[in-house]
Amino acid sequence: MYESQRAYRFVQGKDWGFKKFIRRDFLLDEANGLLPDDKLTLFCEVSVVQDSVNISGQNTMNMVKVPDCRLADELGGLWEHSRFTDCSLCVAGQEFQAHKAILAVRSPVFIAMFEHEMEES
């Protein structure tokens, strides 16, 4: 693993990386075990700095504004207004419109129902 405490400036349209980080033959050598099942797993940790950072002698302010997360409100709106529903649930004689994708990611029971074309699905 490579760790760095240095600050880097990323500019749109410019490439950045480690040209001599790892040799291709080392990566592809099965004895090193870096590609189990022909899959490469990358670990990337990113920190957002909101203080002043000195890069190459220049003092710059990183103005990173992270927007508020509205995902819960937006998903709630989809359900409340029955937008883009693709299935219905019958509970105690009452029918509710729902979204298969949302049900599936929240419940292994629904995943099994949808994957195996059960009568209930």
CA angle 116, 120, 121 (to 5 degrees): 55
Could you report the per-residue pLDDT of 42-86, keeping only the tens digit for each? 666 666 666 555 666 555 555 567 778 888 889 888 888 889 999
Which pLDDT belongs to residue 2?
A: 47
Which pLDDT belongs to residue 60?
A: 54
**What is the band of 1 on the pLDDT scale with cuts at 50, 70, 90?**
very low
Residue 24 has pLDDT above 60, yes or no: yes
List domains and CATH numbers for the chain: 71-115 (3.30.710.10)
Residue 38 has pLDDT above 80, yes or no: yes
Query: Which residue bears the tokens 């349209």?
Result: 13
